[in-house]
């Protein structure tokens, strides 16, 4: 799991860029944090018990937070995947912005730069899915992927473009 994103990380670690040649060429910036340590994970064990296993696996094996495909020139494109502490600290604010109750099955884990949108894990069924919603129109929820690995793989395949639109 996460083979493609690990390759991307290895090619752009810790702060690197790639030239995206689809359409008008542009520089995509990447920033990777070190993977989550056992000590960091254990310090938040109780709080992180409700987090999807696929997300914890990403934090443990790939990066404890990352910026992907960021448009460094204009700042109007890219993805900010939260690290563990940031993810836990932002849930109350996001649930209020998305007009969700505290026991909501949604967990925000990624902000989309320039879009007023976030990606959430939908934990309402056995298979945790990823949805996108715009916090200005929080009644609309679009299916993005069936798993975190699927989303990251398709994101890489599409050079950071929102393939689900």
Q: Is the whole-model pTM more than 0.75?
A: yes
- Cα 132 versus chain centre, distance: 11
- By mean pLDDT, which of 18-27, 36-45, 108-117 is the weakest? 36-45
Residue 129 C-alpha from the chain's centroid: 13
Give residue-wise pLDDT tens across range 43-102.
776 566 688 999 999 999 999 999 999 998 888 899 999 999 999 999 989 988 888 887
Which architecture does CATH list for 3-157?
A: 3-Layer(aba) Sandwich (3.40)
Q: What is the pLDDT of residue 101?
A: 82
Q: Are residues 106 and 98 in contact, defined by beta-carbon separation less than 8 angstroms?
A: yes
Radius of gyration for the alpha carbons in the chain, expressed in angstroms and rounded: 15
Can you tell me which residue has the tokens 């990251």? 152
pLDDT score, position 12: 96
Are 122 and 129 in contact by the 8 Å Cβ rule? The answer is: yes
Query: Before 9, cis peptide (omega within 30)?
Result: no
Determine the 3-state secondary structure of 53 from DSSP: helix
DSSP 34: P
Question: Could you give the C-alpha distances from 110 to 34, 46, 73, 80, 139, in angstroms and in order?
Answer: 17, 21, 21, 5, 18
The two tokens of residue 155 are 């994101």
Q: For the chain, give the mean pLDDT.
A: 91
């Amino acid at each position: 799991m996460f083979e493609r994103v690990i390759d991307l990380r290895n090619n752009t670690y810790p702060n690197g860029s790639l030239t995206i040649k689809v359409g008008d060429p542009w520089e995509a910036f990447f920033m990777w944090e070190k993977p989550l340590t056992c000590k960091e994970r254990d310090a938040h064990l109780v709080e992180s018990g409700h987090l999807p296993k696929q997300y914890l696996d990403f934090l443990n094996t790939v990066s404890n937070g990352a910026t992907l495909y960021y448009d460094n020139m204009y700042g109007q494109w890219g993805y900010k995947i939260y690290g563990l502490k940031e993810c836990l600290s932002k849930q109350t604010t996001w649930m209020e912005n998305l007009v969700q109750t505290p026991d909501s099955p949604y967990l925000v884990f990624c902000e989309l730069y320039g879009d007023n949108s976030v990606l959430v894990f939908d934990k309402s069924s056995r298979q945790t899915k990823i949805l996108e919603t715009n916090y200005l129109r929080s009644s609309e929820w679009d299916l993005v992927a069936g798993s975190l690995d699927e989303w990251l793989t398709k994101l890489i395949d599409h050079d950071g473009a929102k393939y689900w639109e």
